[in-house]
Each structure stands twice: as structure tokens, then as C-alpha cells.
């Protein structure tokens, strides 16, 4: 029996749409819990800044409850008791503009349908994030646990609400093509000012003057490994390329580390482009310090963007003409609102039926997509949420065609596409082929068995693939390394 807008569909939609790169509203079902970032030791042994701030990991009945904590617990209890209107009244005005009472009720109902009846609050984890008190309230249901993450601002109002599934800790084995003896890793920080982004620089051990690739995320609040379900495609890329003599820089995305910066109006520039440029600047400065001289080649810096990151490679390339090359993996060329609708229709049809509730969801997304396409922004309030983002986000993307924009780039271009990708499809790859196919600075290739994460598979692709631990194709790793080392045309 199919759940009515249940967690099963909700999870599928979110896993799918987050990998497209959209920032999805205030109430989300997040694939990776923030607490899971504590398990980072499997790849770099560091503590992330948003985790090290966490304290008071204490059972609820032994806790010295603070005022802010009491506000968070009151909200959770209102959800448990079904008092959704009272819960909504405690939200900040900015948060109220991004979510409705009905959406809160729908989300909580879906949770109880999937996890069963609520049983108890097990513990509360406290952290400070961007000057706000954040509490992760671990709730036990009949079938499983759930983390309810509540952000409280200085006015003692709810500034964010996130539903995060509790996942078993997974051990991520390195891919067979990665040889840890051939590279080393350094913990670094990207950017300027107070809000730095933690990252990892992977450098080959033998040799010098290495080319280096900056990895640009394709999801919303993503970590440096681009962890999606049971997979870490950016770690695969970093370790695989470093084993072949190519250095790699990856970093946690700003929407993960500083989500409070994206509560109001913002654009993809703040979400993606600015930090990619900061990463390039960091590498140039790093290569010129005395202890790092000759380790990296500042004249051989490449950008690799996945999904939304790939969509932005023309803008990144236009910002920095000194980049040696630009690589796009699963990069859309069609408008994001079209992909959003297309993915939703695909997912709800996976089981061969569409319920009335699912059709209502499709119709709602279609209506929002039409608002975006009509672009009558003078008649749309600036704070109107459209497909999980604000008006300013969609205004910035209006009329943007990445394939056409890429025609003016002078850097080398590598465009790669998985043919089993149902999120960014071969129709998007065709857009790149049409615009760049005859250009000497562009190389394009597709892979019949690969999905959106460039992981091999068979059969009908679905979000379930992302929950099976696997690795980026070795062929893709080798193709990227060979292209980087190939002389320019």
C-alpha cells in the first residue's frame, strides 16, 4: 500500500532533488544527519566546526534545561500532540514565510505513518550555529528513531525545523583504484573573514608541480565528500585522482556549515560560485608559500562541478579566465524548474500508479514552475517560496543557458554524462553536444551504465541506488586524469 505523501516518497524526492542542487525550504528530510559528521574520522580524522560546538549530549531526564532548550522541547511536544497551529505561532516571521501550518502537519503525519506511534524523547544534543541555539531532539517511534533539529534565534523564536532520519553508522571502504600510500591529506579552511569553510586537500606523495582540481557540489547542504545515501562520490574522485598524480581540493558547502545565511533572499552566486572562486584563490596562495613551493602548479587549476556545480562552470570560468580547464559531471542545460517537475513525475510513477495526493503534488510543482517561467516578478512577493528557493534565486537563473554561455569560454572543457541518470538526463547532454560538439577546446563523453553519481548500475534507476554503497566508476576517474594531463589543443 502506497503512503499518502509519505516518508517513502518524501525521501525519494529529497534524495533526488538534493542531488540536483536545490535548497529545499525550511522543513526537510535530510539524507545525512549533522551528528553523522562526527564519523568523519574514516577519511580525514578532523572535527568539523559545526560538530565541535556540540555539547550536552545528555539524557533528557538528567538535563539542566536552559530557556532555549525549553523552547525547542516545547515545539517538539506541540508536534507530538498535534498542536501544529501553536507550533507555527512560535516560528520567526522569516520562517513563517517559508512554510505553512499544513506543510508542518503533512510532514509530521508522514513521519508517523512511516515510523509508527511516538514513544519517547531519548536525548537532546545542543550546539551553537551562527549565533543561534540549535537542539537536536532524538525522538523514538515504534519502528525507528528520528532527529528533530530545532534552531532558536536570539528573539527566542523558531528559525529552522529539520527532520533528520537516524542512520546506522556506515563504514566507507576505499575504492579499489585508490591507493592511500600514494597521497596525503591536509585539513584546510577556505574563504576570508569569520565564516570559513572547512575542507580537505589531497596531494600525491611522489613528484611535484601537480595539477589540482576543485570539486564543486551538486547538492544543497552537502559535505565535502558529497555524501549521498551510502556513497561519497567526491571522496572517490579525490582519492582516485590523487592516486593518479592529480591533487584535489574539496570542502563543506556553505549551506551545510552556515545555513542561517540562506534564510532570506539569496542567489546561486552566494550558494555556489563565490566559494568556488575562493577555493581557487586559496590554492594559488597555498602554492606560493615557502613550505609548499613546487607541490602544486598554480597554472594548472581545474574546476570540476557536479550537477548544480556543473551548471555553474560557465559562470565560474567567466569569473577566472586563468583556470586551466572546467569539468562538468551530470550538468543540466535545461531550466531547473523543468527538471524539478520532470523528476517528480518520474519518481511518483516508479511503482506504476499515481495517487490523488501524488497528482496534487505534481500539479502544485507544475504551478510553481509556471510562475518561474512567466517571470512576472513585479507581481510575485520577494519572499514567496518557489520550488524550495526564493524569488531572487530564480530571477538570477532566468534566461541562463549554460551550454550557450560555455561557447564564450576559452578554457578547456570536459563534459561527462551517465546515460542511466534520471535526474540530469541525456536530453541535457544533448544540449552540451549541440552547443560545443564541434569546438576544439571541448571533449564530451557519456557512459551507458552510470547513474547521476557516476556509479555503475543496471535496470530502472531510482533513489534506492544511492542507499547501496558503491564507488564512482574507475573509467571516469581515469578519463578525467588523462584529460587533465593531455596537452592543450
Residues forming the active site: 307, 421, 452
Distances (CA, A) of 206 to 174, 239, 286, 287, 453: 20, 14, 18, 16, 29
- φ/ψ of 67, rounded to 5, equals -60, -45
Quickly list DSSP for 66-87.
Answer: -HHHHHHHHHHHHHHHT-HHHH
DSSP assignment, residue 450? Answer: B
> Which residues, including other chains, have CB under 8 Å from residue 482's CB and lie 6 or more apart?
none
Do the beta carbons of residue 147 and residue 33 sit within 8 Å? Answer: yes
> Which residues, including other chains, have CB under 8 Å from residue 144's CB and lie 6 or more apart?
115, 116, 165, 166
353 class by beta-carbon count within 10 Å (0-12 exposed, 13-18 middle, 19+ buried): exposed
What distance in Å separates the CA atoms of residue 430 and residue 4, rounded to the nearest whole number?
36
Residues in the chain: 489
What distance in Å separates the CA atoms of residue 314 and residue 317, rounded to the nearest whole number?
5
Find how far residue 82's CA is from the centre of its chain. Answer: 31
Strand stretches in 205-350, DSSP E: 210-216, 247-251, 296-306, 325-329
Amino acid at each position: 500500500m502506497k503512503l499518502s505523501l509519505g516518508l517513502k516518497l518524501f525521501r525519494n524526492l529529497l534524495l533526488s532533488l538534493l542531488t540536483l542542487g536545490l535548497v529545499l525550504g525550511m522543513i526537510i528530510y535530510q539524507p545525512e544527519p549533522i551528528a553523522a559528521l562526527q564519523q568523519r574520522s574514516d577519511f580525514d580524522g578532523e572535527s568539523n566546526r559545526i560538530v565541535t560546538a556540540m555539547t550536552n549530549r545528555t539524557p533528557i531526564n538528567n538535563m539542566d534545561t536552559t530557556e532555549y532548550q525549553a523552547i525547542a522541547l516545547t515545539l517538539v511536544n506541540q508536534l507530538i500532540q498535534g498542536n501544529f497551529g501553536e507550533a507555527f505561532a512560535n516560528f520567526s516571521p522569516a520562517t513563517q514565510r517559508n512554510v505553512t501550518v499544513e506543510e508542518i502537519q503533512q510532514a509530521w503525519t508522514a513521519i508517523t505513518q512511516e515510523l509508527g506511534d511516538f514513544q519517547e524523547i531519548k536525548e537532546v544534543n545542543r550546539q551553537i550555529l551562527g549565533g543561534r541555539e540549535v537542539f537536536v531532539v532524538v525522538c523514538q517511534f515504534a519502528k525507528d528513531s528520528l532527529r528533530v533539529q530545532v534552531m532558536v534565534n536570539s528573539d527566542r523564536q523558531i528559525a529552522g525545523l529539520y527532520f533528520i532520519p537516524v542512520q546506522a553508522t556506515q563504514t566507507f571502504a576505499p575504492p579499489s583504484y585508490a591507493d592511500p600510500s600514494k597521497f596525503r591529506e591536509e585539513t584546510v579552511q577556505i574563504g576570508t573573514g569569520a565564516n570559513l569553510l572547512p575542507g580537505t586537500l589531497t596531494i600525491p606523495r611522489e613528484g611535484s608541480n601537480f595539477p589540482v582540481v576543485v570539486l564543486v557540489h551538486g547538492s544543497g547542504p552537502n559535505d565535502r565528500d558529497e555524501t549521498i545515501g551510502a556513497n561519497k562520490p567526491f571522496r572517490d574522485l579525490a582519492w582516485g585522482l590523487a592516486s593518479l598524480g592529480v591533487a584535489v581540493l574539496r570542502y563543506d558547502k556553505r549551506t551545510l556549515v552556515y545555513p542561517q545565511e540562506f534564510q532570506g533572499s539569496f542567489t546561486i552566486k552566494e550558494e555556489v560560485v563565490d566559494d568556488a572562486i575562493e577555493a581557487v584563490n586559496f590554492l594559488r596562495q597555498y602554492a606560493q608559500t615557502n613550505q609548499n613551493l613546487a607541490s602544486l602548479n598554480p597554472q594548472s587549476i581545474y574546476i570540476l562541478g557536479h550537477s548544480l556545480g556543473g551548471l555553474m562552470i560557465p559562470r565560474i570560468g567567466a569569473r577566472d579566465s586563468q583556470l586551466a580547464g572546467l569539468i562538468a559531471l551530470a550538468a543540466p542545460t535545461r531550466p531547473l524548474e523543468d527538471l524539478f517537475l520532470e523528476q517528480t513525475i518520474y519518481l511518483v510513477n516508479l511503482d506504476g500508479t499515481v495517487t490523488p495526493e501524488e497528482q496534487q503534488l505534481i500539479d502544485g510543482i507544475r504551478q510553481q514552475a509556471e510562475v518561474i517561467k512567466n517571470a512576472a516578478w513585479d507581481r510575485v512577493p520577494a519572499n514567496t517560496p518557489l520550488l524550495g528557493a526564493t524569488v531572487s534565486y530564480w530571477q538570477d537563473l532566468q534566461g541562463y543557458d549554460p551550454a550557450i554561455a560555455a561557447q564564450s569560454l576559452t578554457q578547456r572543457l570536459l563534459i561527462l554524462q551517465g546515460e542511466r541518470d534520471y535526474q540530469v538526463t541525456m536530453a541535457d547532454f544533448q544540449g552540451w553536444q549541440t552547443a560545443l560538439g564541434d569546438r576544439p577546446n571541448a571533449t564530451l563523453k557519456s557512459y551507458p551504465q552510470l547513474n547521476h553519481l557516476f556509479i555503475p548500475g543496471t535496470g530502472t534507476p531510482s533513489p534506492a541506488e544511492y542507499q547501496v554503497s558503491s564507488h564512482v566508476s574507475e573509467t571516469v576517474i581515469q578519463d578525467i586524469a588523462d584529460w587533465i594531463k593531455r596537452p592543450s589543443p
